[in-house]
Structure 1
Amino acid sequence: PMAHEHLCDKMRELHVRHPHLRFAFKDSVLPACTMNLGPQSVSFVHADGGDYPWIPGSIHAFGSYNPQLGGHLIAFDYGFFIPFPAGTLSLLSSSGLRHGNTAIQNSETRYSFTQYVSGHLMKWVAYGCRPAGKVERHEKALL
């Protein structure tokens, strides 16, 4: 709840400064998204270093595949994987957790939809919606 409230506050502040901006989705506080349209989307081991680390992003799996044979969500830093059937939604700190998913069978399809917040966007808002070069050193120290 606190992370959600923090993000809501920052997005309101952004909207006050830039009222022409619109969210991609009316009922989501996460301002960015990616659609992986495959048809056999596989995500190799990675961490999304540009994402804001204190707000979890979402991963939503779609398609027609056997979740016992493939498409597993892998949490590399914790050394485990779990079945991730179509229709499943996961929330995780994608910048702080190396993750990915396993391949599916040749005849199957898998897509994913992710939502997240950019760390650079949050920095922009923290800097009063100004470029970093316009923020004085003493102001940065207060953040």
Structure 2
Amino acid sequence: MKSFSNAAFAFYAPKLYHYYCETLQKLYDHHPNLGPPFYGSIWPSESGSGDAACLSALHNDHNNLAFGWCAIQPVGDFDNTTGGHLILQQFGIVAEFPAGTACLLPSAVIKHGNTPLLQAEQTRKSLVSYAAGGLFRWVEYGFRTWKQFAAAEPVRSKQVWAQRRRERPKFALSLFSKVEELVHDHRHVFGL
């Protein structure tokens, strides 16, 4: 399932996927004791639900890369027509979410959760793949925290902060592809 969500990420957001690849490769090159933890997945982190019902209250994942995508994949033995529905609050969407499917979303900005299961004998768990925003900032700040960067380079750090505030939203939006751009973006990013 990791390979499926990874391929979907690469297909629907090739520029964002490429940004992950480039940034995380820099991280792995700088810290050779680190490497991709999951075969077939660009995401460096994964978590799973602990209980059989896997009820997730509405929430944002504030520590994830703000414009990054995560993959949510339900697993288990449950009737997806009666419970376990995916909720995307800002869009007013409550959708059936069968086991084995995947949802890709920028979980830091879209409030999401799921409905409870209605039958006690059913089980539903979730696998969530994601990337913490701190990893990207660590690379961007020269493999150090913001505090270390600001102390070592006070003038440059102020310039970087001002530039981020001005340009980060535009940069983030530039990593998303419109449907009519996907063929071009695949060719450009993957050399197809």
TM tier relative to shorter chain: over 0.9
Q: Larger relative contact order (C-alpha < 8 A, sep ≥ 6)? A: 1
Greater fraction strand: 1
The Cα RMSD (Å) is: 1.2
Deviations 1:2-42 (A, max 9, x none): 00000100011101110110222122111011011321111
CA distance in 1, matches of 2:155, 2:17: 28
Which runs of structure 2 are paired with 1:110-125 in the superposition (5 Å)?
A: 110-125=124-139
Which runs of structure 2 are paired with 1:20-31 in the superposition (5 Å)?
A: 20-31=33-44
Which runs of structure 2 are paired with 1:79-118 in the superposition (5 Å)?
A: 79-104=92-117, 105-118=119-132
Deviations 1:79-128 (A, max 9, x none): 11100011111100000000000000211100110000001111111111
Candidates 57, 63, 66, aligned match of 2:70: 57
Deviations 1:28-82 (A, max 9, x none): 1110110113211110010001100222100010001111100000001111110
* Aligned residue in 1 for 2:155: 138
CA distance in 2, matches of 1:66, 1:48: 27
Which runs of structure 2 are paired with 1:2-21 in the superposition (5 Å)?
A: 2-21=15-34
TM-score, length of structure 1 as denominator length = 0.95
Residue identity over aligned pairs, in percent, reads 31
Which amino acid in the other structure matches residue 73 of structure 1? L
Structure 1: runs of 5+ lacking an equivalent: none
Are 2:83 and 1:70 aligned? yes
Are 2:58 and 1:45 aligned? yes
Structure ID, larger Rg: 2
Q: Counterpart of 1:120 in 2: which secondary structure?
A: helix
Q: Counterpart of 1:59 in 2: which secondary structure?
A: strand
Q: Counterpart of 2:94 in 1: which secondary structure?
A: strand
TM-score, length of structure 2 as denominator length = 0.71
CA distance in 2, matches of 1:121, 1:21: 12
User: How many residues align structurally?
Assistant: 143
CA distance in 2, matches of 1:100, 1:117: 18
CA distance in 2, matches of 1:90, 1:4: 15
